[in-house]
Structure 1
């Protein structure tokens, strides 16, 4: 993909992508690893089991961690331009990138939809069971995991063993297969989620104009709106650029588009769109901390308990000495 041209355009050299990918992944790796590890630990251990969307947040954090843990391999490759490991490991890391992207899209959509649904139907929130969220999450992993398999499969051919990621080969498809794949990826992975998140945002805003109820005040609706807004912000910033470019990029790599301006702009924009998609690993923890009051409360509660235990141990030690 570096200097490998898919058309007669000789100017589509994207040598800069190696530096861009390496720099982006270096900046993401440590903060993403620490933030998502801490979030997963707190969500699993200290969050109230009845908290809204906690199961989806746990799964979102797992999806981010899966991608973050593969970043050292990506960093090594883009710095050295050499892949000394097994080709299967390369394809696994490549697969985790897209698994993270589409699992994140699904769980962000679920968080927004559940928050909005509970605001509109507050009585349903009281009878909603965790097993429903667990079942939905399991179904998402199965569907997304299966749907993302074509990404490594299509890129597993026609590339040297020392090449990986951006330099993987590309398997050409017939027109019918290409059309079906693009339509399915765009509809299921972008259009439907963006419509749902937009609808949830609008309905949650409308709900703030309705009179408060005894069991659900304006404050609860405002929390839900902040959560939905944050999900929408992460979605639009991280995933919209990639999916706008996806149609053109796939057609360029499949040699269906030959126009030089389209080829050049599409190939140049692709690395930036993938880097933006990886930023979700850094932005998702903001959903947990800044938008979920329950998460902040658990951090404060745990921090206070740690401080109290240390003070008590010091006091007991002082009394023994005295």
Structure 2
């Protein structure tokens, strides 16, 4: 018989606190800069910039909730009410699946632009906006079961996040829900990104492409492969651990040593899933020429000078208008 004292579940809250603290500052700065850069060159390019903006918004929403998570994991108590707890808990999953959705959109957009440049160019920016809005609706509705299955119960009002109780659900219903979530939220997006990568690699092997086209294909391949790498590193471990962790929390897996291994693996997977919030800005920098150009020293100086000049002109107009009114 296994000695249960050697298989007690470890306290993982300090590790959550450390991880989220490390993510907070880079994620906040990186995604704020990303939104500023994308807004600046939104009219200059059609290459998935709308999807990148939405991806940055999704990351920023999660980053803004991290201080409350850090506070809870450091103190062990939740003092901000059940509604805010559910909102922060919900944002975690909205960020994850919105990130998955927009990484897929970026990969498909770059692949289409590469394979069918004239057809892709005819797609107006409004089309990308509609696709983004539809994605937000699907993600927000699809993530509702996560908070609904973890609602506060009597006597558990000072707990949040990993300590939230799990509602008892029939096994067959649980299997159907998890299978649908894994298929729609992970397997299908992964296959789409891998297909885009394969099509881009095949197009690179074509010998009739001009040197300019070859350069564009290499840039597209770099971005798509980077999306695939982030997808696999940040989201694959979570989607492997999620069903196992659900069975642990619902007491369907009772072996304490197995529970310990799954709990540790799930904690690592959750931290990796949150890591995408500060990794995505790195993708923008290394795969988007406009992003690097906008953050270059000269462009930053030009932008600051333009803003300063606009500020001075505005103040001058206000002073002249006031003097005219006084006269």
- Fold match, TM over 0.5? yes
Q: How far apart, in 2, do the equivalents of 1:206 and 1:234 lie?
A: 22
Identify if the C-alpha distance between structure 1 residues 245 and 55 changes in structure 2 by more than 3 Å, giving closer, same or farther: same
> Which of residues 130, 134, 138 is equivalent to 1:139?
134
Q: How far apart, in 2, do the equivalents of 1:91 and 1:307 lie?
A: 40
1:144: Cα distance to partner? Answer: 0.5
Residues 91-102 of structure 1: pairs in structure 2 closer than 5 A: 91-102=86-97
1:11: Cα distance to partner? Answer: 5.3
Tell me the residue number matched to 2:322.
Answer: none
CA contact (8 A) 1:19 1:78 kept: yes
Query: Is the aligned partner of 1:42 residue 2:42?
Result: no
1:256: Cα distance to partner? Answer: 2.5
> Which of residues 6, 19, 36 is equivalent to 1:24?
19
Q: How far apart, in 1, do the equivalents of 2:200 and 2:43 lie?
A: 24
> Which of residues 265, 280, 293 is equivalent to 1:269?
265
> Which of residues 235, 238, 243 is equivalent to 1:242?
238
Tell me the residue number matched to 2:85.
Answer: 90
1:30: Cα distance to partner? Answer: 1.0
Identify if the C-alpha distance between structure 1 residues 37 and 14 changes in structure 2 by more than 3 Å, giving closer, same or farther: farther
Identify if the C-alpha distance between structure 1 residues 203 and 109 changes in structure 2 by more than 3 Å, giving closer, same or farther: same
Tell me the residue number matched to 1:119.
Answer: 114
CA contact (8 A) 2:10 2:260 kept: no
Tell me the residue number matched to 1:168.
Answer: 164
1:311: Cα distance to partner? Answer: 12
Unaligned runs of 5+ in 2: 310-327
Identify if the C-alpha distance between structure 1 residues 10 and 254 changes in structure 2 by more than 3 Å, giving closer, same or farther: farther
> Which of residues 294, 298, 318 is equivalent to 2:294?
298
Identify if the C-alpha distance between structure 1 residues 88 and 124 changes in structure 2 by more than 3 Å, giving closer, same or farther: same
Query: Is the aligned partner of 1:281 residue 2:281?
Result: no
Tell me the residue number matched to 1:4.
Answer: none
CA contact (8 A) 2:111 2:196 kept: yes
Tell me the residue number matched to 1:189.
Answer: 185
Unaligned runs of 5+ in 1: 1-7, 313-322
1:112-163 CA deviation, whole Å, 9 max, x = no partner? 1111121111221221211111111101100110111111111113361111
SS of 1:16 mapped into structure 2? coil
Tell me the residue number matched to 1:226.
Answer: 222
SS of 2:252 mapped into structure 1? coil
SS of 2:156 mapped into structure 1? coil
Residue range with higher mean Cα deviation, 114-123 or 138-147: 114-123
TM-score (norm 2): 0.87
1:295: Cα distance to partner? Answer: 1.8
Q: How far apart, in 2, do the equivalents of 1:132 and 1:57 lie?
A: 15
TM-score (norm 1): 0.89
SS of 1:279 mapped into structure 2? helix
Tell me the residue number matched to 1:210.
Answer: 206
Residue range with higher mean Cα deviation, 11-20 or 154-163: 11-20
1:306: Cα distance to partner? Answer: 4.0
1:28-65 CA deviation, whole Å, 9 max, x = no partner? 11111011011011112333353311000000000000
Q: How far apart, in 1, do the equivalents of 2:277 and 2:145 lie?
A: 23
CA contact (8 A) 1:238 1:280 kept: yes
Query: Is the aligned partner of 1:77 residue 2:75?
Result: no
Identify if the C-alpha distance between structure 1 residues 24 and 200 changes in structure 2 by more than 3 Å, giving closer, same or farther: same
Identify if the C-alpha distance between structure 1 residues 279 and 250 changes in structure 2 by more than 3 Å, giving closer, same or farther: same
1:212-260 CA deviation, whole Å, 9 max, x = no partner? 5469511100110110011011111100100011121112222223344
